[in-house]
Chains A and B, each alone.
Chain A
Amino acid sequence: MINLQEWINKNTYHHSRFWDLKQLVETKEKNNLTISLCLPTLNEEKTIGKEIILFKSELMNRYPLIDEIAVIDSGSDDKTIEVSKKYGADTYLASEILPNLEPKRGKGENLWKAIYQLKGDIIVYVDADISNIHPRFVYGLVAPLIYREEVKYVKAFYDRPLAISGNVRTSGGGRVTEILVRPLFSLFFPELTAIIQPLSGEYAVRREVLEQIAFPIGYGVETSHLIDVHHKFGLEAFAQTDLDKRVHENKPTIDLGKMSFGILQTFIKRAKALGILDKAHHETVMRQFQVTKDQYEQNLIEIVEEERPPMIEIEEYRKKFGR
């Protein structure tokens, strides 16, 4: 396994490092890259207008970083499509892309169909429900791909303001990340624990990678991407960017249960295919994160679940009770 702290130091950015959009656009043009922004939607009329306006103004009109903005909708019954068209995004219904295939409904479907519909060499996916949207959500993710050819997949991570205590904040994911995904990765894919927020819905990826990986339609899409890209290209293909605070509606625990169930299905399918479940020895180090100022550090905690045998197997017990 590669040295994860070294990897983190080399491949973890803060968005402020990429403030110079002029330089970013120049490098993009020099490298002859095109970039598409995909906003997958389902009933997002309250937040989609703001996202489109900000990205269009800042990253198309003022600094031509992105070449197209596309809303791919799962069939909203509110005004998501009307608002998107009004502010000039290219708007598609997922079911109308590749119409010969049996339609499926889920965010993963929209992300997958974007590969067919959009033209860019890089596709950046941003969820449409972010109320504190800012251009950094896009430039922070595409910048490592523009500046470093070897990087293929850039994941977002965020402050979680509730977790701050003193100078150290646990830079965690949400509840599902901390309770389900990080323990699973610690056990079976320890290298992937270097990704601070494996379930974040914002990432920028090169087309050459997107076209080679499968897409779960539902909750498992982020998890499967990490496992598949890691398997095919190694951890060196990844980078991650701190995008500061992300404000969105919190989901109730019961919904997180459904999400976890979907993720587990995706995980088990891949772990089986890769023969990982049959490994004789699992890892016993749990890997979590903490952030001190600008340092992102892994916390390694040895957790060995020792067991006692059934009492009946203990001689003293058998003697005492005559068994």
Chain B
Amino acid sequence: MMTSKTLSKELPALEKQLIKHKEVLLANLVMMGEIPSPTFGESERIEFLLNRFNEAGLTESSVDDGGNGIGLLKGTNGENAILINAHADTVFSAKTDHTMQVLSDKIVGPGVADNSLGLAVITTLPYLLEQLKIELNHDLILLGGTKSLGRGDLQGIRFFLNNNNFKISQAICVEGVQLGRLSYSSIGMLRGEITCRVPESYDWSRFGDASAILTLNEVINKINDMRLPKRPRTSIVMGSIVGGTSFNTIARDATLGFEVRSESQEVVDSTGQTIEDIVMEVSSKTGDEVELDIFARRSPGGIPYAHPLNKCARNVMDSLGIEPRLAPSTSELAALIDKQIPALTLGITEGDRLQKSDESIMIEPIFKGLAQLIGIIKSIDGGLCD
């Protein structure tokens, strides 16, 4: 019978065995990564995923009505299922050159870390488990989730969770980076955009002050003046700003992308309310059109630090010499938490230049990251995390 100790002993050897299958994983990563997959445009990548599942003999693989790619690896006692999820979308548009470069120690290309590698891992998992002769008791559901990022707002995984018939006992979300990441809780979050527009009928003779950028600046100053509590921890991320067209034309519109994060749902809600008030105030003062669009929300939650799944994961990481970095998450984990499914998010390797066109991942640590994932799957499957 498997115990934590016996599993810990076999993990370093597992890492070495995985290196032997390097080409298959990296080839999947390169082929997958070269298929553009912007949020709402993931279908080609999902098709590739399904082809791979079919080739690996996962006969019950399919695409659901949410566009998600689902592979089912049957267990010997398929009463309960373990869900392994990776989001299939990236932040890059289909027009971006998605060529991947394979160098001696790393792979470079847009989206390679977030999240082509995560998706390549679930693509390759059936092959790896077969090669390693690992048979599971649980069914393993491999989910390539669509519409996850930005305005996608986790639609893919939420659709899957609302519409499947599996009995999912635990779940793991796989992200390309960073190795050591261990997220088991979600913080409260509210994500939105504030758009300022100078009305068409504006009096253009008012030299200089008729700019959407100036109006947005007023909004930003007011948000910045808000007093946020230190406990529970709360922050506002001013993530992006877009506005205007050239040097010498007054900006007709300007948009701020922001996120409110807090450990407390009430603080998230009250901060959101204050931002709404600010928007209305600035709008009425300036006469400009100021619009607030909140398109994503998360509730805080998750499993406790001492949860058996969490303990198992730390034990596996420790056996492989991985230093856990604990951080809350607002990604797919939040959807699983909403459904009260004990879940973790893990990283596979180290990476750099995230969300830039020269995003890169290191090759060597991947195999430690994979051993970690398979180790945790085996722990769950062996009943060590219940």
A residues with a Cβ closer than 8 A to B are 45-47, 49-50, 53-54, 56-58, 60-62, 79, 82-83, 86-88, 131-132, 134, 247
Q: Which residues of B contact A53 (CB under 8 A)?
A: 23, 26-27, 30, 102
Q: Which 4 A-B pairs have the closest CB atoms?
A: A57-B27, A49-B102, A57-B23, A50-B102
Can you add 5 more A-B contacts, CB < 8 Å, to A46-B103, A50-B100, A53-B102?
Answer: A47-B101, A49-B102, A83-B103, A131-B99, A247-B99
Write the chain A residue with the least CB distance to B34. Answer: A132
Instruction: Give CA–CA (A79, B106) in the complex, Å.
Output: 14
Inter-chain contact B34/A82, CB cutoff 8 Å? no
Contact of B104 among A47, A57, A62, A82 (CB under 8 A): A82
Contact of B30 among A54, A60, A82, A88 (CB under 8 A): A54
Q: Which residues of B contact A83 (CB under 8 A)?
A: 102-104
Q: Which residues of A contact B55 (CB under 8 A)?
A: 62
Instruction: Give CA–CA (A47, B103) in the complex, Å.
Output: 8
Inter-chain contact B103/A57, CB cutoff 8 Å? no
Contact of A58 among B27, B101, B102, B103 (CB under 8 A): B27
Instruction: Give CA–CA (A88, B31) in the complex, Å.
Output: 19
B345 to chain A, nearest CB (A): 27
Contact of A56 among B23, B28, B101 (CB under 8 A): B23
Q: Which residues of A contact B31 (CB under 8 A)?
A: 54, 134
Q: Which residues of A contact B103 (CB under 8 A)?
A: 45-46, 49, 83
B58 to chain A, nearest CB (A): 15
**Secondary structure call for the A interface:** helix
Q: Is B242 an interface residue (CB 8 A)?
A: no
On chain B, the number of residues with a Cβ less than 8 Å from chain A's Cβ atoms is 17
Most chain A CB atoms below 10 A, which of B31, B99, B101, B102:
B102
Q: Is B241 an interface residue (CB 8 A)?
A: no
13 A-B contact pairs sorted by A residue (CB < 8 Å): A46-B103, A49-B104, A50-B30, A50-B102, A53-B26, A54-B30, A57-B23, A57-B28, A61-B23, A62-B24, A83-B104, A131-B99, A134-B31
Write the chain B residue with the least CB distance to A84. Answer: B104
Inter-chain contact A132/B23, CB cutoff 8 Å? no
Inter-chain contact A46/B30, CB cutoff 8 Å? no
Q: Which residues of B contact A54 (CB under 8 A)?
A: 27, 30-31
Inter-chain contact B27/A86, CB cutoff 8 Å? no
B3 to chain A, nearest CB (A): 34
Write the chain A residue with the least CB distance to B108. Answer: A46
Most chain B CB atoms below 10 A, which of A57, A62, A83, A87:
A57
Q: Which residues of A contact B34 (CB under 8 A)?
A: 132
Q: Contacts A54-B30, A54-B31, A134-B31 hold; do A46 and B23 have CB atoms under 8 A apart?
A: no
B294 to chain A, nearest CB (A): 41
Q: Which residues of B contact A134 (CB under 8 A)?
A: 31
B94 to chain A, nearest CB (A): 15
Inter-chain contact B101/A46, CB cutoff 8 Å? yes
Q: Contacts A50-B30, A54-B30, A54-B31 hold; do A87 and B100 have CB atoms under 8 A apart?
A: no
Instruction: Give CA–CA (A60, B127) in the complex, Å.
Output: 15
Instruction: Give CA–CA (A49, B103) in the complex, Å.
Output: 6
Q: Which residues of B contact A56 (CB under 8 A)?
A: 23, 27
Interface string of B351-383 (1 = CB under 8 A from A): 000000000000000000000000000000000
Q: Contacts A83-B104, A86-B104 hold; do A57 and B26 have CB atoms under 8 A apart?
A: yes
Write the chain B residue with the least CB distance to A56. Answer: B23
